[in-house]
């Protein structure tokens, strides 16, 4: 079976951790443009065009609400909105990189990378199951919303008239679906030998390659530019 060459899962994990640390640091706004560009570049490489367009659009909206709106209309409300958007912009940049990990890393690849790091089994298995659980929850949520729409229970009109009832109609089926999915994932994990004492052998062991080297050079260039140039967000 042909395997598509990509980034090493360990490199992607280190990238997410590093980007999260730098953007959430006290002077992290300086690095936000570089992390945004990195997230957009990873989305384009992945051909996730929705994220490649949505990430800069969301960042532009945050910039407009956080910096342009207070200049145009100065009052306490816009000041609060500006502070919130300036803080949320950091999350947008970090999530843009994190979505690449979720979109391109399978639980098997993640487990193989964590085993190569000699991570404790409790951590590696938990992260692998969580990585598989999030897409299942998203699928179940879409199915519940579709069922509510078919019965005329979803929509802005219903939410405004009966917000508590709407949340209840959505939450109860989601809890039942999540419990059923967790049981299926637990059975699948046991069949895959995640609870075994033996260390499984990866068919495609993680290796640092040319793509990881290119990523390292790109990150170094963006970090150098962020340190050398004045921050446009200050």
Residue-by-residue DSSP string for 135-170: HHHHHHHHHHHHHHHHTT--SHHHHHH-HHHHHHHH
pLDDT of the residue at 194: 65
Full domain range(s) for residue 69: 8-105+204-234
Indicate if the alpha-carbon torsion angle 98, 100, 103, 107 is positive or negative: negative
Q: Which two tokens stand for residue 43?
A: 């989305």
pLDDT of the residue at 2: 37
pLDDT of the residue at 231: 63
Please give the biggest Cα pair distance in the chain: 64
pLDDT of the residue at 232: 57
Does residue 26 sit in the same domain as residue 138? no
Does residue 12 sit in the same domain as residue 52? yes
pLDDT of the residue at 66: 84
Does residue 15 sit in the same domain as residue 85? yes
Instruction: Answer whether 0.85 is exceeded by the pTM.
Output: no
Q: Which two tokens stand for residue 54?
A: 């949505």
Count how many domains the chain has.
2
**How big is the CA angle at 10 (ends 16 and 32), to the nearest 5 degrees?**
15
Q: Which two tokens stand for residue 144?
A: 């519940």
Does residue 22 sit in the same domain as residue 86? yes
Query: What does the pLDDT profile of the chain (234 residues) look like in tens digits?
Result: 334 457 888 899 899 999 999 999 888 888 999 999 999 999 998 889 999 999 999 999 998 888 888 888 878 888 888 888 888 999 999 999 999 988 888 888 888 888 888 888 778 777 877 888 888 888 888 888 888 888 777 777 767 777 788 888 888 989 888 888 878 877 777 777 666 667 677 777 788 888 888 988 999 998 888 888 766 565
Residue 1 in domain: no
Does residue 33 sit in the same domain as residue 148? no
pLDDT of the residue at 40: 94
pLDDT of the residue at 4: 46
pLDDT of the residue at 196: 65
Does residue 101 sit in the same domain as residue 209? yes
Does residue 176 sit in the same domain as residue 222? no
pLDDT of the residue at 3: 40
Phi, then psi, of 3 in degrees rounded to 5:
-110, 130
Question: Could you tell me if 233 and 38 are in contact, meaning their C-beta atoms sit under 8 angstroms apart?
Answer: no
Does residue 91 sit in the same domain as residue 15? yes
Phi, then psi, of 152 in degrees rounded to 5:
70, 25
Half-sphere exposure of 228 (CA within 13 A, CB side): 6
Question: Could you tell me if 131 and 107 are in contact, meaning their C-beta atoms sit under 8 angstroms apart?
Answer: yes
């Amino acid at each position: 079976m042909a395997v598509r060459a990509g980034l090493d899962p360990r490199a992607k994990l280190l990238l997410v951790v590093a980007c999260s640390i730098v953007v959430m640091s006290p002077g992290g706004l300086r690095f936000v443009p570089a992390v945004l560009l990195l997230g957009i570049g990873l989305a384009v490489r992945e051909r996730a065009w929705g994220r490649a367009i949505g990430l800069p659009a969301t960042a532009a909206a945050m910039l407009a609400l956080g910096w342009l709106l207070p200049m145009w209309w100065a009052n306490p409300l816009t000041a609060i909105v500006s502070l919130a958007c300036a803080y949320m912009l950091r999350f947008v940049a970090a999530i843009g990189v994190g979505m690449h990990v979720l979109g391109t890393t399978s639980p098997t690849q993640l487990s193989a990378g964590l085993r190569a790091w000699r991570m404790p089994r409790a951590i590696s298995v938990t992260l692998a199951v969580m990585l598989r659980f999030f897409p299942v929850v998203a699928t179940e949520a879409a199915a519940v919303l579709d069922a509510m729409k078919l019965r005329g229970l979803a929509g802005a009109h219903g939410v405004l008239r009966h917000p508590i009832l709407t949340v209840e109609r959505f939450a109860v089926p989601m809890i039942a679906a999540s419990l059923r999915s967790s049981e299926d994932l637990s059975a699948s994990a046991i069949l895959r030998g995640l609870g075994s004492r033996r260390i499984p052998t990866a068919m495609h062991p993680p290796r640092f390659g040319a793509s990881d080297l290119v990523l390292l050079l790109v990150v170094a260039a963006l970090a150098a530019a962020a340190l050398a140039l004045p921050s446009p967000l200050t």
